[in-house]
Amino acid sequence: MLPIDKAATAYHEAGHALAHYVLGWGNGRVTILEKYNSKGSAAIAHKARLSRLLRQLEYGTMTTRLFADCHDFIVCLLAGREAQKKFKPQSLHSYMARSDHQSAVDFLASLHPEDEERQAAMAYLTLRTRNLVSSPRNWSRITTLASELITTPTLTGEEVSVIFRAADDAFSLARSPQGP
């Protein structure tokens, strides 16, 4: 992988990991090592929560909480592309993040069957994702994790949490009146 591709992939996976962390899905393994047709992956830690969500969606009654969890999961799917786009817009190609985006569209279709409503929901969730990724504290977390992934291509969920907490400490220190 070329250095720019490696960095773009690191930012992409760091974006997913940030959304998992902030929205309460937790992180499993995060890697920028290629496997099959993917340049990297960021696994959620709470797979049982996702299974429960999918079962409820298929068989259960739609509640406000279920709806919100579904939207949060879609934000997790979209966060990789948004982080990569913020890092280096020209690193995005038409084929990149296609499976993430298609998964988000398919998931959204089960929540919003009407086309106009689905398009409005996707626009809202994309904006919500962009705002999540772009907030200064979260961008600091993403940048710190991406840098670490470039040197250590696979990290555990616990290592990701430690990196995010260290990024938070550095961010807070830099913003304190006394400075670093």
In this predicted structure, the answer to whether residue 5 has a pLDDT above a threshold of 90 is no
Least confident of 30-44, 121-135, 146-160, 163-177: 30-44
Cα–Cα–Cα angle for 147, 83, 48, rounded to 5 degrees = 95
- pLDDT of res. 114: 92
Q: Which pLDDT score is estimated for 179?
A: 55
Short-list 133, 169, 168, 162, CA closest to 14? 133
- Enter the CATH code of domain 3-175: 1.20.58.760
Closest by alpha carbon to 89, among 173, 170, 8, 2? 8
- Amino acid at position 129, single letter: T
Q: Which pLDDT score, from 0 to 100, does residue 97 have?
A: 64
Residue 23, CA distances (Å) to 7, 19, 50, 56 in order? 24, 6, 13, 19
pLDDT at res. 177? 78
Determine the pLDDT at residue 39: 85
- Residues 85-98: what's their mean pLDDT? 79
Give the pLDDT band of residue 2 (cuts 50, 70, 90). Answer: low
How far does Cα 70 stand from its chain's mean position?
14
In the chain, where the domains are located: 3-175
Cα separation, 130 vs 21, whole angstroms: 16
pLDDT, tens digit, 9 for 90 and up, residues 136-166: 999 999 999 999 999 999 999 999 999 999 9
DSSP result, 127-160: HHHHHHHHSHHHHHHHHHHHHHHHHSSEE-HHHH
Taking the CB of residue 1, how many other CB atoms lie within 10 A of it?
14
CA–CA separation, 84 and 97 (whole Å): 10
**Range 79-90 average pLDDT:** 94
What does the alpha-carbon distance between residue 137 and residue 117 come to, in Å, rounded to a whole number? 32
Q: What is the model's pTM?
A: 0.90
Q: What is the mean pLDDT of the chain?
A: 89
Percent of the chain whose predicted confidence (pLDDT) is above 90:
61
